[in-house]
Amino acid sequence: MLHNIRPDDHGALGPDMVAAVSTCVHCGFCLAACPTYQELGQEADSPRGRIVLMKEVLEGTLTIDQATPHLDPCLGCLACEPACPSGVPYRDLISPFRAIMEPKRTRTIADRMRRTIAQMTLPYPTRFRLAAMSGRLVKPFASMLPKSLMPEFLRVMLELLPDRLPPKQTWAEVNPAIGTRRARVALLTGCAQSVLDPDINTATIDVLTRNGVEVIVPRNQTCCGALSWHVGNLPAAQHFARQNLNAFPDDVDAIVTNAAGCGSGMHEYHLILKGTADQSRADAFRHRVVDVSAFLVSLGDLAERPDTRLPLRVAYHDACHLSNAQGVRSQPRSLLRMVPGLELLEITDSHLCCGSAGTYNMDQPEIAASLGQQKAANVIATDADVVATGNIGCMTQLAIHLKQTGSKIEVKHTMQVLRDAYR
């Protein structure tokens, strides 16, 4: 058990963290599931090792700066949770711990610059688009500059940019169901996703409306807050969460997400707003959030089944925050199997993260690159035509590393594959 934790130090998050730490019996089942343990091979870089480190920091026997070299590389992929026989709620520990400890940390100027740039651009589509367009102009010259003039994280950010940005898309606030209305939902359109691949939202709305679902796109919605929450920026995460609590209507059957990271982040609104006046609203809100693939399957038979024969070999990639955080594994596969002529393929070591994880490419570029290369190699081994997944971060990571190998495998969202089958 934890001792010497004072509520004035750790706020309302403390008791949940105590429970999460105390559940771990250090059995080691999490080791094989943890990508960073596989990469680094040290006990301190495993889930159970990190739990010990967090415990010691909370008890005051270790400083946060002593523990961060091993805590920062954690992807937050939650692969340890389904592997744990004791049911340790690791999600109740890692992000709250980062939120509590961030103000106590010592950061370098480069660290602060990297975090500021990410936090001030990625959650805001207009800013992100402008930053991405500017970055594309600089990108051809970046390799010519000496390393002393360009920090490593800026080089990584430029490498992550696509060769071209798709045209800006907007969506009607109300998208009527086609035929008999079976449900009414509100859609989170996402921040980075709406810039990097807005067609995901277009495809999602098309698939839902074809199947009798009216889709509301709230105008005042904002970033889900996950990008801030996962790196310990609690004030920003709370701001985004509150804005979405006010923006999304109550008179819908569900709040639908099509990005695994966003859905996972919204499912943690009760943690983000714990101890505030909005805690009860946040708890009710999170229970209404559902991934689009899970929502479609919950309706029963599709109102309109795909009828275009697509002779495609599709490898399905499990996004960590869909499979581990939300428990959504079979539903996307069920939907893809409905497409005539589509052969669904499984990827070796599908439980291991691709290395995306929000801003992880900028925070831990070497580990992210290694995991991305391994995932790309496993995708290529399937001999697929397309790799489908349910998260924009995974899609970006897969596209980069497949391109580096010269592979022609296309990267698509599950909803884009379904939409194309209707065509």
Q: Span 82-92, mean pLDDT? A: 91
Q: Residue 379 above 80 pLDDT?
A: yes
pLDDT for res 396: 93
Distance of CA 243 to the CA centre of its chain: 19
14: pLDDT confidence band, cut at 50, 70 and 90? low
Q: Span 16-40, mean pLDDT? A: 88
Give the pLDDT confidence of 200-233 residue by residue, as tens digits. 999 999 999 999 999 999 999 999 999 999 989 9
pLDDT for res 113: 85
Distance CA 117, CA 108 (A): 14
Distance of CA 57 to the CA centre of its chain: 27
pLDDT for res 163: 78
89 token code pair: 């709620």
Q: Span 328-341, mean pLDDT? A: 95
Long-range contacts (CB closer than 8 Å, 24 or more residues apart) made by 132-140: 132/161, 132/165, 132/195, 132/196, 133/165, 135/161, 136/161, 136/164, 136/165
Q: Supply the DSSP symbol for 365.
A: H
List Cβ neighbours of 278 (8 Å cut-off, separation of 6 or more): 241, 242, 245
Distance CA 354, CA 317 (A): 9
Q: Residue 404 above 70 pLDDT?
A: yes
Q: Residue 245 above 90 pLDDT?
A: yes
What sign results for the dihedral spanned by CA atoms 213, 217, 222, 223?
A: positive
The answer to whether 2 and 59 are in contact (CB under 8 A) is: yes
Helix (H) or strand (E) holding 174: strand 174-175
pLDDT for res 5: 47
Higher-confidence residue: 105 or 334?
Answer: 334
30 token code pair: 């999490």
Give the pLDDT confidence of 279-322 residue by residue, as tens digits. 999 999 999 999 999 999 999 988 777 877 778 999 999 999 99
CATH class of 7-104: mainly alpha
Q: How much is the mean pLDDT over the chain?
A: 90
Q: Residue 139 above 80 pLDDT?
A: no
Q: Span 258-278, mean pLDDT? A: 95
Distance CA 233, CA 122 (A): 14
Higher-confidence residue: 308 or 338?
Answer: 338
Q: Span 93-118, mean pLDDT? A: 87
Distance CA 59, CA 74 (A): 21
Beta strand ranges found along 283-395 (DSSP E): 289-291, 313-316, 343-346, 386-389
| The residue type at 346 | E
Q: Supply the DSSP symbol for 144.
A: T
Distance of CA 180 to the CA centre of its chain: 33
Q: Span 142-156, mean pLDDT? A: 72
Site of tokens 């997400």: 257
pLDDT for res 147: 65
Distance of CA 29 to the CA centre of its chain: 24
pLDDT for res 141: 72
Site of tokens 């009760």: 270
> What SS3 state is found at 389?
strand
Distance CA 420, CA 307 (A): 10
pLDDT for res 362: 85
CATH class of 313-422: alpha beta
pLDDT for res 6: 46
Q: Span 3-9, mean pLDDT? A: 46
Compute φ and ψ for 143, nearest 5 degrees: -70, -20
Q: Residue 326 above 80 pLDDT?
A: yes
Q: Residue 13 above 70 pLDDT?
A: no
pLDDT for res 7: 41
Q: Span 316-331, mean pLDDT? A: 96
Q: Residue 260 above 80 pLDDT?
A: yes
Q: Span 136-144, mean pLDDT? A: 73
24 token code pair: 């771990």
Where along the chain do its domains lie?
Answer: 7-104, 109-160, 174-298, 313-422
pLDDT for res 413: 98
Distance CA 92, CA 97 (A): 9
Give the pLDDT confidence of 33-62 residue by residue, as tens digits. 999 999 999 999 999 999 999 999 988 899
Compute φ and ψ for 389, nearest 5 degrees: -155, 180
Q: Span 154-176, mean pLDDT? A: 87
Higher-confidence residue: 20 or 404?
Answer: 404
Q: Span 90-113, mean pLDDT? A: 88
Q: Residue 81 above 90 pLDDT?
A: yes
CATH class of 174-298: mainly alpha
Percent of the chain with pLDDT over 70: 95
